[in-house]
Amino acid sequence: MKTNVGGIDKILRIVVGIALIAMAAMGIVGAWGWVGVVPLLTGLFGTCPAYTLLGLNTCPLNKNG
């Protein structure tokens, strides 16, 4: 898959993902907090299937492709 998640978007996804997972692990939020795995993985791998479906791209290096 092509990289379609860039810079700030990637950092925010990782931070939000870790925060949600940590809150779920500590019991602050319910089991839905484990959904933080999704933004964490999309941030780490740099690709988002939803962006692909919607034709979005926040990666400045891949704007043309």
Contact (Cβ atoms closer than 8 angstroms) between residue 34 and residue 18 = no
Query: CA neighbours within 13 Å on the CB side: how many for 27?
Result: 0
Cβ-based burial of 38 (10 A; exposed 0-12, middle 13-18, buried ≥19): middle
Return per-residue pLDDT of the chain as tens, 65 residues. 789 999 999 999 999 999 999 999 999 999 999 999 999 999 999 999 999 999 999 988 765 55
| The predicted structure's pLDDT at residue 15 | 98
Please give the structure tokens belonging to residue 11. 């950092």
Please give the structure tokens belonging to residue 45. 């791998």
DSSP assignment of 24-38 equals: HHTTSS-GGGGGGHH
